[in-house]
Structure 1
Amino acid sequence: MNQIFRLNNRKKETLTFYLLITPWLIGAAAFMLGPIIASLVLSFFEWDLISPAKFIGLRNFEEMFAIDPLFWQSLKVTVIYVLFRVPLSLIAALFLALMMNQKIPGIGVFRTIYYLPSVISGVAVSMMWIWIFNPNFGLMNGVLHFFGLPEPGWFSDPQWALPTMILISLYSVGSTAIIFLAGLKAIPDVLYEAAELDGASKIQQLFKITIPQLTPSILFNVIMLTITSFQIFTEGLIITGGGPANATLFFNLYLYENAFSYGRLGYASALAWVLFALTFICAFIVFKSSNRWVYYEGGE
């Protein structure tokens, strides 16, 4: 009798669970799974939102790889951005986390200040950078002029536009630093005490204890930074619009232009799936390589 009672309770709990998550499942199907499947289907069509969709098979992908030079330009710009932004952000975030891990009065206020840029609107931040790096009256060139240093064109110079984009991306490393800070808090103090007794310096402790213990956090941050870097869009749209001379034509921006400026929904959908494949491959390679360099205290 008790067994039947427990079984009925388990069924009720299971039913309650599914009822509670049903709104989320409906939303996920309607607003996530549905558009994903629709974009995959559209990638084999030619459609401008006005005329009826025309099936063209793999022609969108053929044009992308064989004909379209802007596809390769946007891919090159995005890959360069990812290759520089990810390691620089990791280094900056780790340095920031090490500072926020210090036991000093008011450190909680500083942690909040450093994290705030991660939650500020991307449009507002982009407008701020436009003013700071304006070549004529911007704050940055004003400081350089005061010290008698060369004043670059920043966003208006094809040679400086992409490096400047990479530079300003370091402004929002607060969320990455918070993950590192959580990892630092989980490192046992006895490891540092033992290292000090053995005469290890702070630098040796950093490379022999801190970084190896942080490798799970590093893995998570590398994957998340890789995904978000491939998806950069707002800064390119607001600050430069892809210019000058397509120097900041990021892949997501080119996808957006094809969809909503040129009315090529099918081609834009094909671009979206190429971006997904590229992001997935990079994240998968990082994840599969983690067994060689990620340390888990409890083993693999």
Structure 2
Amino acid sequence: MEISTENQLVVSTSKKMLKKRVARELFNGLLFASPVLLGFLIFVIGPVLYTVFLSFTKYNIVSAPKFVGLDNYVHLLSGKDAFYYPAVRATFYYVMISVPAGIIFSFFIAILLNMKIRGRTIFRAIFYLPVIIPLAASSVIWLWLLQPNFGVVNFILETFHLPTSLWLSSDGTVIPTLILISLWTTGNMIVIFLAGLQNIPSHLYEALEVDGGNSFQKLVYVTIPMSSSIIFFNTVIGFINAFQTFVQPYVMTQGGPNKASYLYVLYLFREGFQFSNFGTSSASAVLLFLIILLFTWVFFKFSKSLVYYEGQEDRK
């Protein structure tokens, strides 16, 4: 009995020491992580919650927020705001073309940069370089290049007797022009695709060569299926970023001509910081969040049947 009692005391003491050790490690871990956690709570979660709160109020900075319930959402969704739905349409037009175009462009550029060619490192740096240039600066440069009367692009087209364009100065060409400009900053996508291509096992290509496969068959039956997870990732990130496009239309077009490039975030920005309708601006921000959330959910919903992950057969 005495031995049993001593064993119980030893076990009890060990459990207490273990709990104290776990508690101390947890405390130390939270202490070291506290700057990041506090920063996330103060600068991310806090503004998000405050934006949701403002979306139910009428607020113009000068006076205190006045609770108005769902009035801001009704104002936007009912079409009473003459600029909201045109901004939504312009944004969907831009997103639905720019994202697939960016995926296709960056994927095939990554395939070319993955080939064993002379100066490959230099070409990789050239295609990534535009990402480093600030968007505002590159937007001003593109604005000069695409100026209809004395821009360099139209000058080159005239030199080769090719048709010129109004580019950013026409309702019909402004969105396609912004889409073309968006391909300028696909460096991050290219790098991610390149990393994925380098992880494709070479024996898959060798096996296809033995069976008499050509380059196109390698692309269709090996490269694209094995890169499907990377394509999925870049597509999701691309849609999220495209819905939040702001700098290019703000710097180059100010939403014009005739509001043809009045994208969603530009509308949100002007509604809040130009017209001081922070309640309506916050409501539009919440709606944008819900739109992005819906698209992301749809992508993940269908990803299981479209995306291949290495080793997923083993998990089954």
TM range (shorter): over 0.9
Q: Distance in 2 between matches of 1:29 and 1:57?
A: 26
User: Residue 302 of structure 2: which of 277, 289, 295 is its match?
Assistant: 289
User: Residue 156 of structure 1: which of 169, 175, 197 is its match?
Assistant: 169
Q: Which letter maps to 1:176?
A: M
Q: Is the aligned partner of 1:127 residue 2:168?
A: no
For the residue of structure 2 that corresponds to 1:63, the secondary structure is: helix
Aligned to 2:268: 255
User: Residue 180 of structure 1: which of 187, 190, 193 is its match?
Assistant: 193
User: Residue 283 of structure 2: which of 267, 270, 277 is its match?
Assistant: 270
Q: Once structures 1 and 2 are overlaid, which stretch shifts more, 187-196 or 104-113? A: 104-113
User: Residue 29 of structure 1: which of 35, 41, 44 is its match?
Assistant: 41
User: Residue 192 of structure 1: which of 195, 205, 211 is its match?
Assistant: 205
Q: 1:264 to 1:147 in 2, by over 3 A?
A: same
Q: Which letter maps to 2:33?
A: I
Q: Distance in 1 between matches of 2:31 and 2:298?
A: 38
TM-superposed CA distance for 1:111, in Å, is 1.3
Q: Is the aligned partner of 1:61 residue 2:77?
A: no
User: Residue 74 of structure 1: which of 87, 101, 117 is its match?
Assistant: 87
Aligned to 1:96: 109
Q: Distance in 1 between matches of 2:94 and 2:144?
A: 22
CA-to-aligned-CA distance 1:164-200 (integer Å, 9 cap, x gap): 0011000011100111111111100000000000001
TM-score normalised to structure 1 length: 0.96
Aligned to 2:57: 45
Query: Which of the two has higher C-alpha Rg?
Result: 2
Q: 1:107 to 1:9 in 2, by over 3 A?
A: farther
Q: Distance in 1 between matches of 2:18 and 2:224?
A: 48
**Tell me, which stretches of 5 or more residues in structure 2 are unaligned?**
1-9
Q: Which letter maps to 2:228?
A: T
RMSD across aligned C-alpha pairs, in angstroms? 1.5
Q: Distance in 2 between matches of 1:6 and 1:58?
A: 52
User: Residue 139 of structure 1: which of 125, 147, 152 is its match?
Assistant: 152
Identity rate, percent: 37
For the residue of structure 1 that corresponds to 2:256, the secondary structure is: coil
For the residue of structure 1 that corresponds to 2:173, the secondary structure is: helix
Q: Which letter maps to 2:177?
A: T
TM-superposed CA distance for 1:252, in Å, is 0.1
Q: Is the aligned partner of 1:111 residue 2:110?
A: no
TM-superposed CA distance for 1:144, in Å, is 1.2
TM-superposed CA distance for 1:104, in Å, is 2.8
Q: 1:257 to 1:296 in 2, by over 3 A?
A: same
TM-superposed CA distance for 1:96, in Å, is 1.0
Q: Distance in 1 between matches of 2:94 and 2:72?
A: 25
TM-superposed CA distance for 1:109, in Å, is 2.3
Q: Distance in 2 between matches of 1:194 and 1:9?
A: 55
Q: Distance in 1 between matches of 2:146 and 2:301?
A: 40
CA-to-aligned-CA distance 1:117-157 (integer Å, 9 cap, x gap): 11210101100110110001111100111122222111111
Aligned to 1:234: 247
Q: Which letter maps to 1:73?
A: P
TM-superposed CA distance for 1:287, in Å, is 1.3
Q: Which letter maps to 1:279?
A: I
Q: Once structures 1 and 2 are overlaid, which stretch shifts more, 62-71 or 163-172? A: 62-71
